[in-house]
Amino acid sequence: MDLAFSPEQDELVRTLRQFARRELAPHSAQWDRTGEFPWEAWRRMGELGLLGLRVPAAYGGQEADFLTFGIAMEEIGRGDFSCTYGIQLAGLAGEILGRSGSEAIKTRWLPPTASGEAVVALALTEPGAGSDAANLACRAERDGDGYVITGEKSGISLGMAAQAAVVFARTDPAGRARGVTAFLVPLDLPGVSRGPLRDMGTRAIGRAVLAFDHVRLPASHRLGEEGTGFYQVMQGFDYNRIGIALACLGVAQQSVEETMVYVKERRAFGRALARFEGVSFAIAEAATHLEACRWLCYRALWLADQGRPYTKESAMTKWWGPRLAVDTIHQCLLLHGHYGYTDELPRSSNACAT
């Protein structure tokens, strides 16, 4: 049993941590306030290979293993959580296009997705179908040698910035999961419209409602056989859940490290806050929980890389990681006293030097 990263993985951690600290963190609060899409950061992530991790090498991707994907999610999460959506969604869409797209679709969409020039969203959720995703109502009807797509998708990350979306639509009204088919839909086609959702955070990813009003699509835009769409997207969700957990842990770890700097500087009752056990114990507990959850995540990704079952572990990480991150960040906020209730954190003087 080897519980260490390889020298290459250690190097990747160093590179991405530096990138996140220097190029993402300084802009993160502004992206979130204005909701502007960080195109420049996207291109930089493309240059670093982060948007093509699950894209075939022949189309500009890395074909990276799952562990590498996890490292990328955690380290980029330390700098800007919104940017982790790029890794995640370019990975999911890239995998589906790479596996099931026609040659023309792959050539048109994969290289720019991997380089950060194009954004492809993933449109599964609908106003009336979320958790029960197989129950979707958006339909794709045969029409000559193509399809006509009609329906609405809701809560779609990157929906305002994307040039195309992998859209899941019903081709068989009776088939439930087996009646769902995936399509690559360019979002400039006649009949497509979109509107923004006003989110409480990660505004840079511009979640959107996408509407398809009799959108005509050539059959070449179908991804895989009819009825395989639901299974294609579900295959990607298991490893993505772990990535989401790691991105949350990255944010929480960053917060703990910034809090450690703060409590060493801030004085009360004649000494640094860090000297009080009521403060240091809370930080030690948070660090312990984060470490435990991280290793659950990396073990799950290791199982995935070994081709072993990991659905159970994936569900555990998605349940624990985000919840632990919220608890940890709340604790960090409290330790910042009245500053914690402003939107001025993290202060630049607080920025962790690791």
CB neighbours of 221 closer than 8 A, spacing ≥ 6?
A: 102, 105, 147, 183, 184, 185
Which residue among 62, 84, 100, 157 contacts ligand FAD (CB under 6 A)? 157
* Percentage helix, strand, coil for the chain under 3-state DSSP, each rounded to 5: 55, 15, 25
Residue closer to ligand FAD by CB (options 120, 324) is 120
* ω into 346 cis (within 30 of 0): yes
Asked if residues 157 and 205 have their Cβ atoms less than 8 Å apart, the reply is: yes
> In angstroms, what is the minimal distance from the CB of 133 to ligand FAD?
6
CB neighbours of 288 closer than 8 A, spacing ≥ 6?
A: none
> In angstroms, what is the minimal distance from the CB of 26 to ligand FAD?
23
> In angstroms, what is the minimal distance from the CB of 269 to ligand FAD?
42
> In angstroms, what is the minimal distance from the CB of 124 to ligand FAD?
3
Q: What are phi and psi of 60, to 5 degrees?
A: 90, 5
Distance between CA atoms of residues 311 and 172, nearest Å: 28
Residue closer to ligand FAD by CB (options 207, 336) is 207
User: What's the token pair of residue 309?
Assistant: 């079952």
Which residue among 156, 167, 187, 252 contacts ligand FAD (CB under 6 A)? 156
> In angstroms, what is the minimal distance from the CB of 205 to ligand FAD?
8
> Applying CB under 6 A, does 155 fall inside the site for ligand FAD?
yes
Residue closer to ligand FAD by CB (options 183, 298) is 183
Residue closer to ligand FAD by CB (options 67, 325) is 325
In the region spanning residues 103 to 132, those forming contacts with ligand FAD, defined by CB under 6 A, are 122-125, 130-131
Give the residue at shortest CB distance from ligand FAD.
130
> In angstroms, what is the minimal distance from the CB of 167 to ligand FAD?
9
Closest-CA residue to 38 (of 116, 97, 152): 116
Residue closer to ligand FAD by CB (options 298, 320) is 320
> Applying CB under 6 A, does 92 fall inside the site for ligand FAD?
no
Asked if residues 246 and 76 have their Cβ atoms less than 8 Å apart, the reply is: no
> In angstroms, what is the minimal distance from the CB of 84 to ligand FAD?
11
CB neighbours of 248 closer than 8 A, spacing ≥ 6?
A: 77, 81, 321, 322, 324, 325
Distance between CA atoms of residues 117 and 187, nearest Å: 15
> In angstroms, what is the minimal distance from the CB of 192 to ligand FAD?
16
| Structure-token match 């099931």, residue found | 100
Residue closer to ligand FAD by CB (options 61, 236) is 236
| Structure-token match 């450690």, residue found | 260
> In angstroms, what is the minimal distance from the CB of 149 to ligand FAD?
15
Residue closer to ligand FAD by CB (options 92, 282) is 92
Residue closer to ligand FAD by CB (options 130, 195) is 130
Q: What's at 328, amino acid-wise?
A: T
User: What's the token pair of residue 102?
Assistant: 């026609």
3-state secondary structure (DSSP) of residue 165? strand
- State the number of binding residues for ligand FAD (CB under 6 A): 10
> Applying CB under 6 A, does 196 fall inside the site for ligand FAD?
no
Residue closer to ligand FAD by CB (options 131, 349) is 131
CB neighbours of 239 closer than 8 A, spacing ≥ 6?
A: 66, 69, 301, 304, 314
Residues that bind ligand FAD (CB under 6 A): 122-125, 130-131, 155-157, 207
